Structure 1
Amino acid sequence: MLNLTFSDDIGGRLKALASTKLKIETANRQSSSNRVRTAYTLHVGFEVSFDS
């Protein structure tokens, strides 16, 4: 989807995003009531990271 060789900064952000996503998914297994809100937060965070 994204070319990780384009920028080390982008690659670092993707690694951080993947790590955050894994933590969020683990939390969601424990508390599904926040799933929608968490998904929205992750989506907005992703857009901010790559558009800023």
Structure 2
Amino acid sequence: QNNLAAQIANPADLLGPRASTTIDAERRGKVIDAYRNATPPPPIFTQEVQY
């Protein structure tokens, strides 16, 4: 029980979910557009170890 209490920032979270905040549609749209238009990251090359 002590470990669980140390991990919980707000004990009210155990009673139920927090209320939703209002949706910022403009911000959401900008974030989604930025994600869609982003260039993919360069591939990560790995080398196999020769034993």
TM-score normalised per structure 2: 0.33
Higher helix share: 1
**The structure with more radius of gyration:** 2
TM-score normalised per structure 1: 0.33
